[in-house]
Structure 1
Amino acid sequence: MGGFLTNAFLMTVLSGSMVLYFGSHTSAISTLNWKNYTAGQEKAPLWASFVSWMVVMMPVITISAGYPIQSASLANNLLNGISVSSWHAIIYPFGLPNDVVEHQPLSTESGHSSSLGNPTWPTTRAKVVARLASVLPPLIPCLFVKDASKIIRVGGLVGFLISLLIPCILQLASMRVFGRLWPHAPNPSYTPYSGFYSRYPAIAVVLCLSCVAFAYSTYDTVRRLAQG
């Protein structure tokens, strides 16, 4: 809840300041507003050109650096979040090879053998499939959509799910699992890392606000895309 309010406040201040400064020439992509920045002079001084270049290139630098790391993390989550039998059905649709068993121990040392003489999990094939599944879906639409503002709008909708909705759902799920494993615990929502915002009322408020914001953003995105 605290992060939600802080993020909303900062985004409101930044977006409002940008609109007040650039006026009717405000670009849909905030960093492009600095493309022709001249510091109020007819010809941009050297330092203003440097500031303009840094602001415009910052998303390219940060995304290029973070995309491989985030894709690798997502691939690891897919490997550990989906059961081994389900992965076997995906990567071996015509049946398991003789050197692969149905249930294998988890290991991060790919290429080594387990005590039973079978390849450890995840196998190289599973890693390749998981990483391609993490990397390719965002890249393929970019080949056909040239307007970066449309990509950012659609990507922003996913941000609601990743940063707001999914954490709340995970919190509720973990509290249920805790209550099932330790039914006599006085407060299943309390852990050494819990605070006021880890309790049910705060989670409910964040979920409600997130759903409202997600619904409005989805409507606004669809409306703007339909208008071209």
Structure 2
Amino acid sequence: MTDTNARVALVTGGTGGIGRAVIERLAEDGYALAVHYAGNKTKADGTVAALKAKGTSAMAVCGDVADENVMAAAFDAVEAEFGGIDVVVHTAGIMALSPIATLNLDDLDRMHRINIRGAFVVAQQAARRVRTGGAIINFSTSVTRLQFPNYGAYAASKGAVEGMTLVLARELRGKDITVNNVAPGPTATPLFLEGKDQAALDNLAKAAPLERIGTPEDIAEAVAFLAGPARWINGQTLFANGGIA
């Protein structure tokens, strides 16, 4: 077991655009970090090595977020290494875009499994294990308000996450654990930028009063706020989108 008095955070999807930014931001606040990944071990190991080089206690855990047995083992590994878990940030998810009328239902099922079942599995483990004074942070999307065409199935999956999260906050009454969602707006991650030309990106940038597209670091600041000082924010969805909606 690593000898550390730091608060411990497990971040799913920790090698993705937002997940990596969250990892780096929580490291600044002194957390010991578990970097979860689904398939790219090299990337996860590189993230852990970079953290350790800066003096942060870190480890990598792998697993399909929708597999309850695999994720239970991942949580076990984090507890064995660090002695417990204080914060769980669930950024892992996928996005398939299509008009509702023409969506391939296999894509819907795949998103349902990762985005809904995966969020539920991770939240279930977090609810059982996060220590007193901790936080559970899920990810929704501002598209639930923006109603962009082609995002119907994705918005539906994230709407389910919002509902689940707000219920869990009430179910953990008396445990001093906050449960919230972060709902990013347009954010410059590889997943979001894929398939968009410069004109589309310029239009999205102008839509927000701050007249830019968000960065992963913007979203990570919202997570750090909910993970640490925001003890009186509970059962909420925080829209981190520069005022676009």
Higher helix share: 1
TM-score by length of 1: 0.23
**Higher fraction of strand:** 2
Normalised by the size of structure 2, how large is the TM-score?
0.22
Of structures 1 and 2, the one with the larger relative CO (CA 8 A, separation 6+) is: 2
Task: Tell me which structure has the larger Cα radius of gyration.
Answer: 1
